[in-house]
Amino acid sequence: IYTSGSTGLPKGVMVEHRSVCLRCTNHSGLYGLREDDRVLHFSSFAFDSSVIEILSPLISGSIVVMRPGYLSHPGEDFDRFLEQHQVSIVDLPTMFWRKWVDVIKDSQSSIGQAIRIVCVAGEEVSAQSVRNWLDAAKGPNVRWLNVYGPTEATIEATFFELGPGEELRGGLVPIGRPLSNTSLYVLDSRLHPVPI
């Protein structure tokens, strides 16, 4: 799998099949994927998150909805596409999601009726963007997830969830807790575990 290249040029990372299987099974369970779900494939095939966007729905019997290349910016066309294809799960890069929230907020529109999960990944999420999202996402059943992890950990390692009706506490958006069968260690500058 190739890294995003956010710290320089993208590099190839060796990932074992069992790690990909574990991660896709994690996401299938985390999302509660069902046969009637329609999952947006947003990322380029060269980007690590595309593995989850394609394989997790397929192992769950869900439908993968491919995003056409012309939908590179949030707006009416993107919203219409989601509605037309009854997309229920979107996994978006943080920057795109942030712009989508602004569009929804500015136009006083709501997100698609079918959407039940919005997942955000790739960059740090600002608390203000989450508050704007909570104001904009009026649907009572929409779950919001912030996922984090390096490609070397097979795409993602942690998740933080805001369920319907929950509010963000504090000024930072956590990266959350480890996905199942994943361990996290917080280390100091000498790579020693820090106290709780």
List pLDDT tens digits, range 87-139: 999 999 999 999 999 888 888 666 778 999 999 998 899 999 998 888 877 66
Q: What is the pTM of this model?
A: 0.89
Check if the beta carbon of residue 91 is closer than 8 Å to that of residue 57. no
Which pLDDT tens digit goes with each residue over 37-80?
999 999 888 788 888 999 999 999 999 999 998 999 998 899 99
Q: What is d(CA 196, CA 192) in angstroms, rounded to the nearest whole number?
A: 13
Q: Is 165 exposed, middle or buried (0-12, 13-18, 19+ CB in 10 A)?
A: exposed
195 HSE (CA, 13 A, CB side): 0
> What is the token pair recorded at 150?
């390096």
Check: CB of residue 156 under 8 Å from CB of residue 178: no
Separation CA 80–CA 82 (nearest Å): 5
